[in-house]
Chain A
């Protein structure tokens, strides 16, 4: 039975690893949305993070720089979004879509020379513990630092939103920007910060894919994960800890369908690959049915344009 238990451990570990980019992007987007801003550019920021991380790794041969650079590039892209929606008062939905289209195009343009280059091995932590402890070893140990950061992030986000003063300000800005502004809060500044933070996290999520999860650059390699991350925020009804649960469920579906393909279950591959997307819809339906539940944490001003007459 020893082998089975180890296999189970490896399976759960793989599920957790595949949920990392979703946790990072969704946690970032959650903060952005909590401040009342709906940024649909997650997919674009992730893919830009993926390529710039990978490109920096190839050029500088330094993984730390690559990670930082991916976050900066996500942040830079989100700044375009912030400037348009906050300073030029553009529609959030349309601007976010433009950001995604732009990001996917730009990533392919930058990534042209990086196709087919093998990635570098990312240092993993606690590798000796991974083999020493059955079941829990492969689940909790032998992962990258980004992995551990991602799993701590929802708890940090939760603490930040509920227990800190700045968290309260973010929520106030998201729920009622007008009253917040009347209290002397600089709504624009708060929102800019939240947008930039979201961008950085999306960039990191993308870099996790191209540097750690599947260390290489493939055009369009985020494959809709940005959109699933957006759905996760709704799924979590804007509460950080539920993002963790949701991300693991989706990671689980992704890994399970891969295993089902590998075992050779007689369902066409395409149907299994469609499973995460179909599940997203099913889950959205279940969550959204109860409008009271969804309204509980929904930032009231989400997606609305805020303009203060000076």
Chain B
């Protein structure tokens, strides 16, 4: 006999162990999928999760991919904690990239220490403003922020496409859909010679620290948490709900914008059509896998970044499409949500009772 009971309280240990369980189950399911597709499961998993990070270059690539994921997820955690469903981070990233890239092109061939900070600031503001659209529409017109923020993803990508094909395309670029290469003053410094890891990682780490301070050490963080748990309580306590919606969207948009500008001034060095391999969407998974906790998000971003690298390696060695990474990302979230069941319920295996009273 199996009986399912609601737990009186959730244990902290299970709260942080279930993500590990979810990752384990994802690996098992992944092995099964690889087997069904005709690969040797263990070998495929090795190509996916071990080969990519078995050298220094791989580890650096891992951090390059984890940086934007971590940044965006940190921002999203503010939204999700307060029950605001911003799923358009990809659009905010793109728009941040556009604004930052525009400033970089404006200061093309400018020397001066101020160029890079200006670009980064512009990117953050760009993402922030773009995220304010769904927030303001939600506040004043009661529109669904999920749909609005998502529609804006398509709009921003088309805008980027227009700019790199049209007015911003490289005058010496033989009509390739890309802008000029940014000048060196507009690039984030590389940390180690020969590797791609760049200073953007510090922006991510600072934002992790700031998020931790705000969420755990300030009254604002408390307000965000309460509104997420119960909107009624928040209203009763007199928290300003509308300001809060705007604020969390602004934080989240700024983080996504920073991620975008970090990509174009870091590894990419110019604007073109594909400035993000859907980091904005994947970061949603990172946020959940990290339990909306800044420290958790750091670990989660590393794990999810590995699925990107793994997909690239597997594409080369096993000829599977790069989208395989997304299958793993989707599964991680499935298993994570499913294992949350253990948080609130306990499964009891009962022996048959011999005596009934």
A and B together in one complex: yes
Which segment of B100-108, B198-206, B254-262, B321-329 sits at the interface?
B321-329
Interface residue SS majority, chain A? helix
Question: Which of A99, A219, A268 gathers most chain B CB within 10 Å?
Answer: A268
Min distance, Cβ A262 to any Cβ of chain B, angstroms: 18
Known contacts A268-B162, A274-B159, A281-B148; decide if A98 and B142 are in contact (CB<8 Å).
no
Is B87 within 8 A of A109, CB to CB? no
| Contact in complex: B340, A309 (CB < 8 Å) | no
Residues of A within 8 A of B (CB): 40, 80, 84, 88-91, 93-95, 97-109, 111-112, 219, 224, 227, 230-231, 234, 268-271, 273-274, 277-278, 280-281, 284-285, 288-289, 291, 294, 309-310
Q: Contact: A102 with B327, CB < 8 Å? A: yes
**Chain B interface, number of residues (Cβ within 8 angstroms):** 47
- Taken together as a complex, chains A and B put the C-alpha atoms of A294 and B141 apart, in Å, by 12
Task: Say if the beta carbon of B274 comes within 8 Å of chain A.
Answer: no
Q: Judge whether A88 and B337 touch: CB under 8 Å.
A: yes
Contacts A/B (CB < 8 Å), 9 sampled: A88-B341, A90-B341, A94-B288, A98-B334, A98-B337, A101-B282, A268-B166, A281-B147, A309-B6
- Restricting to B1-44, which residues have a CB under 8 Å from any CB of A? 4, 6, 37
Residues of B within 8 A of A99 (CB): 330
Main secondary structure of the interface of B (DSSP, over half): helix
With contacts A280-B147, A289-B141 taken as known, whether A108 is within 8 angstroms of B154 at the C-beta atoms is no
Is B333 at the interface (CB under 8 A from chain A)?
yes
CB distance from B37 to the nearest CB of A (A): 7
Q: Is B143 an interface residue (CB 8 A)?
A: yes
B146 cross-chain contacts in A, Cβ below 8 A: 40, 93
A277 touches B154 (CB 8 A): yes
Name the A residues within 8 Å of B147 (CB-CB). Answer: 227, 230-231, 234, 280-281, 284
A84–B327 CB distance below 8 A: no
> Is the beta-carbon distance between B150 and A227 smaller than 8 angstroms?
yes
Closest to A273 in B: B158
A100 to B326, CA, bound (A): 10
Quick one: CB contact mask for B299-324 with A, threshold 8 Å, 1 for yes?
A: 00000000000000000000011011
- The smallest beta-carbon distance between B309 and chain A, in angstroms, is 15
Given contacts A277-B154, A284-B144, A284-B147, contact A108 B323 (CB under 8 A): yes
